[in-house]
Amino acid sequence: MDMEVSGSEEGVFPSPSTLQSLSATFMAGDWWKRVHDAFWSEDAWLPEGVSWKDIDTSASEIWYYPMLFSLVIMFLRYCIIQPFILVPIANARLIPNKRTKAPIPNRALEDIYQQFQFDVPQSVLVKASKTMNMTVRQVERWLRRRYNSVKLNTHDKFIDCSFKLICHIIFAIVGLSVTLPKPWLWDTTLCYKDFANQKIPFDIWFYHMLILAYYWAITVEELPKPGGRGSDKMQMILHHTLTILLTAFSYTAGHFRMGGLIIFVHEYSDIALLAAKTCHYAGYDGPTGMLFVTFVILWFLTRCFILPFWLMRSIFFEMPQSFNQISIKIQKGWMIILFLLTMYWTGLVIRTVVRKLTGKGLQDVRSAPEDTSDSENDKKD
């Protein structure tokens, strides 16, 4: 009888190993809950006296909806806009779509290319030439041809700039219709007034989701592009990442009014620049001079005047003292980095203006001088 009871208890109650496993699971769950509660602490995110129940935004939707919308943007680009609109225009304009033939496959040199792309240290070149019984010039030529075989040609740049131009025109129209009627555009102190009771209008919500979706899409598309000499790839990825983080953090913490204004002032100079590049790649250089002048005016007005002296001034000097939580300090730090990057690009804009005035030609702004073609480089070998 005792044996039966013992067997019954053994079947009903967990074994020591099971109890240990359950204990570890609950401890892990408890640890995760403590980390979650610490990260989403109201003291870290919200002003004193404001709770998450008062905030009319959701931390989850700022990631979910933009990701979903970004898939829609990429579908529209690659399945509709690019094949049925942009490619026919490029073909009608006879925009060249030539590509350098890839070099003979070489595993060792491919590994070097994947690590350094076009900017290979001299010591690596010398070591590779000795290992493979090639001259340094032959190694350089292989790497150059490999790089030129995948870099964007004039046709690719026309398609890319044209699509971005379409997007920014749409965003500018949406931004004007959404932002101009808002009183906090004209009086930035309203971004903080009665903060706990601010409700996000649908148009502002949609504006945030649309912009974030676009930056997610172009950041993903930027990653596989070749970098190296003449590329501003890392600068653009840094800019897109900062834009995503700033927008997501400000939205999560309920600062959708100021976040919308920051998005708003970043749109308009890009339209003129993208339009100038698109015309240039299409071989239609007539309006590029006027478009570049428009770009410079809009750049200095929005990025060098309104951004620092209107919006950043409000964030650093008009924001109440109660807005001193960690999330605000992080956002201020990112804002400073974004502004420093803007000032770096402003230096490039000024350099480009000087080149234009001195008759040295007009290069793409916010980029280093572009690579020479493969055929030009081959002539040097």
Q: Which residues of 134-167 are buried (b: 16+ CB within 10 A; e: fewer)?
A: beeeebbbbbbbbbbeebebbbbbbbbbbbbbbb
- Asked if residue 318 has pLDDT above 60, the reply is yes
Mean pLDDT value across the chain: 85
Q: Which residues of 331-351 are buried (b: 16+ CB within 10 A; e: fewer)?
A: beebbeebeebbeebbebbee
Residue 188's pLDDT band, with cuts at 50, 70 and 90, is very high
- The C-alpha atoms of residue 125 and residue 138 are separated, in whole angstroms, by 10
Residue 304's pLDDT band, with cuts at 50, 70 and 90, is very high
What pLDDT is stored for residue 153 in this prediction? Answer: 92
Note the pLDDT tens digit of each residue in 23-79. 555 555 677 677 777 778 888 888 888 888 888 887 789 889 999 999 999 999 999
Q: Which residues of 283-307 are buried (b: 16+ CB within 10 A; e: fewer)?
A: eeeeebeebbebbbebbeebbbebb
What pLDDT is stored for residue 42 in this prediction? Answer: 84
Is-above-0.75 flag for pTM? yes
Tokens encoding 102: 């890839």
Tell me the one-letter amino acid at 141.
Answer: R
- Asked if residue 297 has pLDDT above 80, the reply is yes
What pLDDT is stored for residue 134 in this prediction? Answer: 92
Note the pLDDT tens digit of each residue in 241-273. 888 988 998 899 999 999 999 999 988 999 999
Q: Percent of the chain beyond pLDDT 70? A: 84
Domain boundaries defined on the chain: 69-92+154-357, 107-148
- Asked if residue 176 has pLDDT above 60, the reply is yes
Provide the Cα torsion 66, 68, 74, 77; round to 10°.
-90
φ/ψ bin of 359: left (φ > 0), alpha (ψ from -120 to 50), beta (otherwise)? left
In this structure, of 144-148, 307-311, 376-380, the range with the lowest mean pLDDT score is: 376-380
Note the pLDDT tens digit of each residue in 110-163. 999 888 876 788 999 999 999 889 999 999 999 999 888 888 899 999 999 999
- Asked if residue 299 has pLDDT above 50, the reply is yes
- The C-alpha atoms of residue 189 and residue 3 are separated, in whole angstroms, by 79
- Asked if residue 375 has pLDDT above 50, the reply is no
What pLDDT is stored for residue 373 in this prediction? Answer: 43
Residue where the block lists tokens 């990825």: 237
Q: Taking the CB of residue 374, how many other CB atoms lie within 10 A of it? A: 20
Residue 21's pLDDT band, with cuts at 50, 70 and 90, is low
Close Cβ partners of 171 (under 8 Å, ≥ 6 residues apart): 210, 211, 214, 267
